[in-house]
Amino acid sequence: MKFEAGSFEVAVIGAGHAGIEAGLAAARLGCKTAVFTINMDAVGNCPCNPSIGGTAKGHLVREIDALGGEMGKAADACFLQMRMLNRGKGPAVHSLRAQIDRRAYSTRMKHTLELQENLELHQAEITDLTRNDDGSWLLTTRLEAQYRAKAVILATGTYLGGKIYVGDVSYESGPDGMFPSKFLPDALEKLGMSIRRFKTGTPARVLKSSIDFTDLEEQCGDDPVVPFSYDTEHPTENKVKCHVSWTNARTKQIILDNIHRSPMYSGKIEGIGPRYCPSLEDKIVRFADKERHQLFIEPCGLDTEEMYLQGMSSSLPEDVQIAFYHSIKGLEHCVVMRPAYAIEYYCADPIQMYSTLEFRDFAGLYGAGQFNGSSGYEEAAAQGLVAGINAALKIQGRPPLILERSGSYIGTLIDDLVTKGCNDPYRMMTSRSEYRLILRQDNADTRLTPIGREIGLISDARWEKFTAKQAQMQKERERIAGTVLSPTEALNQILREHHTTEVANGTRLIDLLKRPELSYEALTPVDTGRPALNPNIFEQIEIEVKYDGYIQRQLLIIERVRKLEKKLLPKDTDYSKIEGLRLEAREKLSKVRPENIGQASRISGVSPADISVLIIYLSTLKKNPEE
């Protein structure tokens, strides 16, 4: 028999990376919040990589932290190895990646939720979701408990109608052998929501003692360690090494001989898989000319012997998996503890949402994470944070948070999802942003901490630390602009050693730093007035100085785009009646319902000529407001 179990302002369905950030944000902003999880032991689980960050994803984690989120702090507390990727490339693509202890991370996140004021954590499968006459939502659990909520955030990950595939075997399941969310998909379809099937996968886990590391390439962490969170002042040292191996011709042949046994190629899997994180069999087929593929052997934690095989996801039968793993150097005798699998699940078309991640047709209902068609822990956490913030702001009658794509990778991620949609699981990459040189991981706090403070997620102590850093940066900018170095032999010796032109006159320190051959470090012997500051400050300023021309050009472009973002389109615009729009543009605009001209300009199928028509249309509305 159904019974009334309680009421909340915000209810979050799912306690993965999206659900955690959503629940914490809403509760920290003062809303009475509930987070529901199918299994309490799966809170903050990492069913795929035991890692946080990576190329572009590290940017997202830094931005989450700058806004007041939790992921960066947890990663710093639970990391096993920390590395800054792409150091050999420009600063726009430098990205932090942490190998983490997945159980420690999960335990820490669960405890953080348990300790959070205004938040209750419940183990329950939500089986039904209906709208009450007053606009609130009614959630029903499998045990027939009913909860009321003013706002609901769907953060179901890969649990929603989850189905596992390993060769010919398939069965209903969530990740890691958990129960799937079996009944909620029907409830969402009854609401009228558009949902579809996506697919992702994960590699096997193998026993550490069964791996021969003798001839494998070692991959060490950075020293000193650079943390994710701006609150982490004294990060610990790296605790583990990772290793690299490669597939070979035998591996390839084993897979090709058994490709007909893959459910992806036999047609059993209907869901669309991730384009940028393909399974090993998919890589073998799509890149037939490649002789080998790289894999990384990574520990899952300090208190487990499980090792993760990055780059080796598969849905081939278990016997085939064992055969091709045994063909790889170092894995010839490996013991497979958990076989690889593919998982198919339901997710929503994100074009149904506003930039706040609220559904256009379902007031008070939000989506976040893989439920929105994205992939990855970091993309999920970023969306969860924004959804939780906006649910709370709406309940409190405050203006929504809409992050511009020119101001953050989080803004880029959400804008891409709600304007362009996704035909396969969306993955953040630095190439997705037009403003990479401005949206660097090193300056995430400068860009976003003031926003987090205004919302209410940045504490007084954190704000004081941030403002002190900004003052130090400004003082250092003034110092290098005003410091003139004499043309001494010591200075010219440094210039010769770094293959750059010697100076005959006094030269400003800022002009020397503009030279690509020079750096703060190179000029240390002659820069005697340099203050003792956080290395991050010198890094940011040096990048600003060296790339000033490019940065200024990007800022001009951003300002032009911002003017288009300010041209708001009425929600009830009937695009079929706007003369001059092409048929394709009318169809796309009617489907996406963009919030402004800038957003409309990024919709595939909407041309510059169509944008001109929309601008003219808006000008006529201003002249004739009654229309």
How many domains would you assign to the chain?
A: 4
Residue 242 forms part of a structural domain? yes
Domain end (from 294, 319, 342)? 342
Residue 558 forms part of a structural domain? no
Residue 128 sits in the same domain as residue 142: yes
Q: Which of 382, 370, 402 is nearest to 58 (CA)?
A: 382
User: Do 408 and 62 form a contact (C-beta atoms < 8 A)?
Assistant: no
Domain end (from 398, 427, 455)? 455
Residue 336 sits in the same domain as residue 352: no
**Cα–Cα distance for residue pair 271/276, rounded to 1 Å:** 15
Tokens linked to 495: 């210039």
Read off the pLDDT of residues 462-513 as tens digits, 9 standing for 90 and up: 999 999 999 999 999 999 999 999 999 999 999 999 999 999 999 999 999 9
**Cα–Cα distance for residue pair 557/148, rounded to 1 Å:** 46
Residue 474 sits in the same domain as residue 601: no
Mean pLDDT split into 10-residue runs, the chain, 627 residues: 94 98 98 98 96 96 98 98 94 95 98 98 98 96 98 98 95 96 97 95 97 97 94 91 97 95 80 79 90 96 97 95 97 98 96 97 97 96 98 98 95 95 92 92 96 98 97 97 95 96 95 95 95 92 94 89 87 90 90 90 88 88 64
CATH of the domain at 301: 2.40.30.260
Residue 267 sits in the same domain as residue 333: yes
Residue 359 sits in the same domain as residue 335: no
Residue 97 sits in the same domain as residue 16: yes
Q: Which of 381, 198, 206, 350 is nearest to 277 (CA)?
A: 198
Residue 141 sits in the same domain as residue 28: yes
347 Cβ neighbours under 8 A, 6+ residues apart: 160, 195, 196, 197, 198, 370, 371, 372, 373
Could you tell me how far CA 67 lies from the centroid of its own chain? 14
What is the extent of the structural domain holding 546?
470-551
Residue 179 sits in the same domain as residue 218: no
Strands (E), 339-444: 341-348, 365-367
Residue 561 forms part of a structural domain? no
Residue 575 sits in the same domain as residue 528: no
Read off the pLDDT of residues 373-424 as tens digits, 9 standing for 90 and up: 999 999 999 999 999 999 999 999 999 999 999 999 999 999 999 999 998 9
Residue 556 forms part of a structural domain? no
Residue 323 sits in the same domain as residue 420: no
List the strands of the sheet with 217-219, edge to edge.
217-219, 242-246, 294-299, 306-310, 205-207, 336-338
Q: Can you give the pLDDT at residue 484?
A: 96
Read off the pLDDT of residues 148-205 as tens digits, 9 standing for 90 and up: 999 999 999 999 999 999 999 999 999 999 999 999 999 999 999 999 999 999 999 9
Residue 460 forms part of a structural domain? no
Residue 302 forms part of a structural domain? yes
Q: Can you give the pLDDT at residue 45?
A: 97
Residue 120 sits in the same domain as residue 242: no
Domain end (from 517, 551, 585)? 551
CATH of the domain at 433: 3.50.50.60
Q: Can you give the pLDDT at residue 265?
A: 77
Q: Can you give the pLDDT at residue 359?
A: 98
Residue 139 forms part of a structural domain? yes
How, if at all, do strands 95-100 and 119-123 pair? unpaired
Residue 290 forms part of a structural domain? yes
CATH of the domain at 605: 1.10.150.570
How, if at all, do strands 294-299 and 242-246 pair? antiparallel
CATH of the domain at 495: 1.10.10.1800
Residue 512 sits in the same domain as residue 400: no
